[in-house]
Every structure is written in C-alpha cells, then in structure tokens.
Amino acid sequence: MANSTLQTDVVIIGGGGAGIPAAIEADKAGAKAIVLEAAAECGGTAAISGGGCCIVGTPLQKSQGIEDTPDLAFEDWVKWGGGAADEIWARFYLEHTLHDLYHWAETCGAKWVDMKFQEGNRVLRWHRPDNNGLGLMTALIKNAQALPNVTIMTSTKAGKLLTQDGRVCGVTATRNGETLEIRSKVVLVATGGFNSNLDMVLEHRPEFKKFKVMEGSGFGAKGEGHQMVKELGGYFTHMDCIWFYVYATPDYRDPQQRRGLVFRQVPGYIWFNQQGKRFHNESVTGGASATPALLRQNPPHAWALADTPMLAKIDVADPYYRRGDVIDRSKVEELLNNSPFIKKADSLEELGRKTGVEDINNFLAEVEDYNKCFDAGLEKEPRFGKSLKTSKKFDTPPYYAIQIFPLARKNFGGVKTDLHCRVLNKYFEPIPGLYAAGEVAGMAGGHINGKAGLEGTMLGPSIFSGRVAGAWAANEAGFGTGFIGNPNRPELD
Ligand SMILES: Cc1cc2nc3c(=O)[nH]c(=O)nc-3n(C[C@H](O)[C@H](O)[C@H](O)COP(=O)(O)OP(=O)(O)OC[C@H]3O[C@@H](n4cnc5c(N)ncnc54)[C@H](O)[C@@H]3O)c2cc1C
C-alpha cells in the first residue's frame, strides 16, 4: 500500500540526457509531467559526459569551411555501424540535428564552442558545448525547472510500472523511505544504460567473464528501466553491442573494484602488454580500434607508460576527481600514489620489474626505440604510426605505469521503439502507454548506432529521442501535435 498517490499526465523516469528534454517537450504541449530522478540531482550520465554531439551542417562547421550534409554523415554512420545501425532512426536523427539539437539547445541557453575529430567521420562534426556535458545539462535542467507544468522529484527511485486494462498507467516509487504511486496517462522510461551494472554487462557479453572488465557509466546506469520494461514484454535488441574503452584503470577506492576510471589528456603515453611489447598506435583510442587491439593481448590488459611531465594534465572522468569542471590535482596525486594498479619508479628498469612483465628486455627495447625517434627528428614513430607532435622522450622520472583494462561505457542496444518512441513488444506492436528514449533504448529506437559509434552519437540521439518521446507521450495523453521537427533541408527553409 503506497503512502501517497500522485496524479499527472506524463511520468518521466530519469532526469538525464533524455528525460529532461522530454519534460520540456511535454510542457510545451501543455501536458503536466512529473520527472522521477533517483539521484539527489538531475543530470545523469549526460552531466558527467564530454557533452560532444554529432551534428551536421552547423554554423560552427561553416565558420571553418567544412561542408557537411545529412547524406555524407549518413554514409559515415552506416559504414561505421558495421551494418547494424537502425538506418531509419539514424536518418531521422541526422536530418534533424541542425535545428532540433544545435539551435534548440542554444535556445535553452547552451553554447557550442568547438569541434574535435573522431574516428570514422570524414569531416569534423563532434560539437562540444561550453563546459562539456555539465554545461549543456545545466542549461536544460534550468529550463525544465522553470516550467509551470513540470515537477521534478529528485532522490525518488522508480520501481514497478503499473498497468490497467492492458495499458501502462503509472509507476511505483520510493522517496525518503516512503512508497509512492504516481498515476498517469502515459509513462516514459529514460533511465539510461546498464554499464554500471557489471552483472548485466557480463550477461550480455559472457565471453568477458574470464577477464577483468570494469563498470564505467554514470552511477545511475544500472539497467533498472530495462527491468521495468522487460517485465511488460518490451522487445530488446543489440544488447551485446556495448562500447568498451581501454584507457581506464580500476577505481581502487571501490571496495569491490568493479568500477573503472577513464583517464585522458596523456597523449605522450605508450602502452605495452604483459610480454613488454607495444601493440597499437596509442593515439587512436576509439572503441572500434584500441579495444579490439587490447582484447587480442594475452592477458587482455596493458600498462600505459608515462613520465612525470606527461601526467601534468591528466584528467580523470569521475566526479571524485573534480571540483565542478576543474580537475582536483590533489585527488589525482592521491590516485597516482595509492592505487595498486599504478606503479611508480625512478628508473625504467625498476618500473618494468614492478609491472611484472614477462620480458623486461622487450619493454626496455620498446622505450629505447621510441626515444630514438625523437633523436632522429621523426614526425611519426614507424612501428604503429603514432604522431610524435604531442609526445616527448621518456626521460623525466619518476616514471609511471598505469594498468588498463576494458571498461564498459555505452550501450548501443536497448528496447526497440518506433519513430514516436513507443515501446514495441516482440510482435513489433506498441505496448499501450509506454515510451522509451535515450540509452535504455540504445540511445534511440533500439540500436541507432549499430556495432560502433562515430562519437557524439550517444548524447545527441539521447537528447533528440527524449524530445521526440516527450512530444508524442504528451500527444497520447491528449496534448499537442506530437513531435514536429525542422529537418536540415535548405530548400525547405
Ligand atoms: C564519462 C562519460 C562521457 C561521455 N561522453 C559522451 C560524449 O561526449 N558524447 C556522447 O555522445 N556520449 C557521451 N557519453 C554517453 C552519454 O552521456 C549517454 O549515452 C547519455 O547521457 C544517455 O542519456 P540518458 O538520459 O539515456 O541517461 P542518463 O543521462 O544517464 O540519465 C538517466 C537518469 O535516470 C536515472 N535513473 C536510473 N534509474 C532510475 C530509477 N529507477 N528511478 C529514477 N531515476 C532513475 C539516473 O539516475 C539518471 O539520472 C558519455 C558517457 C560517459 C559515462
């Protein structure tokens, strides 16, 4: 028996990258919406993300002389997705990114500041907002908080979906030890992915059971929404398409050591395997390149070698290592000095010994070869073609070896939805009253990326599908016209 019952038009479960835009759209349509967020604050994984979004044909691209079109981006997208992308959703997203993501986010107060190259794209199209994911989400959350029809309930964890006469009609929740029932005309699940639930990762990638892999998404990405939808017969697809990164080391502060810490901004480093050999161009770090290379090693882990100046700007993608958006250097030092997965030594030989590499001569020879490239004035080292522009000789002790393992970061598969974000059952028929958007729906529609993502293709589609879902959920509840976007077709402008 619930302690209290609330009533609304649309319940949105999850106040992150998809849930907040959904609430903004529901309000715009005139529907009352309640957002349930398990954490003390909204933002989810989106707020700790790099914030990069794959967007096509933008003023920022034009200012740098880049000609990009949805057609060009679509070709890159489908090719990179290895034949597994949902082409209809990919097309729908790409056609709409300019107006319905880039300009829309600007109207909410976000600012796009620069772009970065990402593997698989023929042109720059990964757009970064000011202050990364935190900046983008702060702007969207502020908007949602100011809306008259939106109620945001933080520290409120949704439990079970409620049904009546074959329709989803609400959800149970807990808040401060109280149980609640929120009754609604429709429910939208926007609970994110499952990469902070190692058991679920291993269930879908059982071949990893014999290796160490780590949890690496936001803290709320436990797959709870997946469970809710599964109980009502939602059809899940591409669940094994998990995007792993390898530049991550175990979080030694996690008692179970399931969680990993992604570290960035160490472009000088090189990686060596347990035999003491390099195996990859370390400047190519994507999930479709570095990850398979690491997984081919025996055992499938590596050591990232750096000297002291190379670690000056290291950034650890975890809230503990930051004050807002600023790196907390003392916490980073604490990690470097205390983690059993990080070795430190005054000589390379001693470091090699501490890592336990099988052949220390291999390791020393690799470093010597690499250092010689600088004496020869080379632009790239010849073994794997790593650019030496942002690198230097290993010459300033103490030296560090950071042990790296695969880390599950993003889910490219999830619950199948139609283009209105209605959850489909195994007969590909909508489950009445149930919507899903964001990473629980493989970012959008079930599997918008396929086997690999061009980057910026997780947050962008999560926000976009959140908007689409919010508008159509409101429509089913009796408000507004559903999502009417503005495609990137200059001839229509
Ligand atoms: C460190 C990092 C960096 C990233 N950088 C990028 C990037 O630069 N570009 C990109 O495209 N993608 C990036 N991603 C991926 C991207 O951030 C996610 O795919 C995106 O945020 C998913 O949005 P979402 O709304 O589905 O999930 P989230 O943003 O995680 O929101 C889900 C919310 O649901 C809440 N929730 C879960 N269960 C419940 C429950 N039972 N009751 C109530 N609330 C619940 C969670 O607490 C959370 O707040 C990154 C991911 C990580 C981990």
* Same domain as 274, residue 125: no
Is 239 within the bounds of a domain?
no
Measured in Å, residue 204 CA sits from the centre of ligand 1 at: 19
The answer on 426 and 394 residing in a single domain is no
For residue 79, tell me if it sits in a domain: yes
421 and 391 assigned to the same domain: no
Contact indicator for 192, 16 with CB cutoff of 8 Å: yes
pLDDT of the residue at 18: 99
- Quick one: tokens of 403? 């042990």
Boundary residue ending a domain (405, 438, 473): 405
Overall number of domains in the chain: 2
Distance 305 CA to ligand 1 centre (A): 31
The answer to whether residue 234 sits within a structural domain is no
Shared domain for 192 and 265, answered yes or no, is: no
How close is the Cα of 108 to the center of ligand 1, in Å?
A: 19
Q: Which of 405, 423, 458 is the last residue of a domain?
A: 405
Q: Is residue 240 in some structural domain?
A: no
Q: Who contacts 251 (Cβ-Cβ below 8 Å, separation ≥6)?
A: 214, 257, 259, 260, 261, 318
* CB distance 334 to 342 below 8 Å: no
Q: Are 164 and 189 in contact (CB under 8 A)?
A: no
pTM: 0.95
Ligand 1 atom closest to the CA of 18, numbered from 1: 25
Per-residue pLDDT reduced to its tens digit, 148-190: 999 999 999 999 999 999 999 999 999 999 999 999 999 999 9
Say how many Å lie between the CA of residue 400 and the centre of ligand 1.
Answer: 32
> How is 205-232 classified by DSSP, letter by letter?
-GGGGGS--EE-S-TT-SSHHHHHHHHT
Q: Are residues 164 and 265 in the same domain?
A: no
Residues 193 and 138 in one domain: yes
Ligand 1 neighbour 460 (Cβ under 6 A): yes
Same domain for 416 and 316, yes or no, is no
Side-chain half-sphere CA neighbours of 339 within 13 A: 24
pLDDT in tens, 216-269: 999 999 999 999 999 999 999 999 999 999 989 999 999 988 999 999 899 999
Number of Cβ atoms within 10 Å of the Cβ of 4: 10
In a domain, 237, yes or no: no
What sign for the dihedral angle of Cα 13, 18, 22, 23? positive
Q: Which amino acid is at 279?
A: F
Indicate if 107 and 256 belong to the same structural domain: no
Is the pLDDT reported for residue 102 higher than 70? yes
Whether residue 458 has its Cβ less than 6 Å from ligand 1: yes
* Closest alpha carbon to 239 in 410, 424, 80, 406: 410
* CATH of residue 155: 3.50.50.60
CB 39 within 8 A of CB 439: no
178, burial (CB in 10 Å: exposed 0-12, middle 13-18, buried 19+) = exposed
Nearest to 315 by CA among 301, 335, 342, 341: 335
The two tokens of residue 291 are: 């990850």
pLDDT confidence bin for 446, thresholds 50/70/90: very high
Domain that holds residue 195: 4-229+410-492
Task: Decide which of 379, 405, 431 is a domain's last residue.
Answer: 405
How many whole angstroms separate alpha carbon 485 and alpha carbon 97?
Answer: 10
The pLDDT tens digits of the residues spanning 389-410 come to 999 999 999 999 999 999 999 9
**27 within some domain:** yes
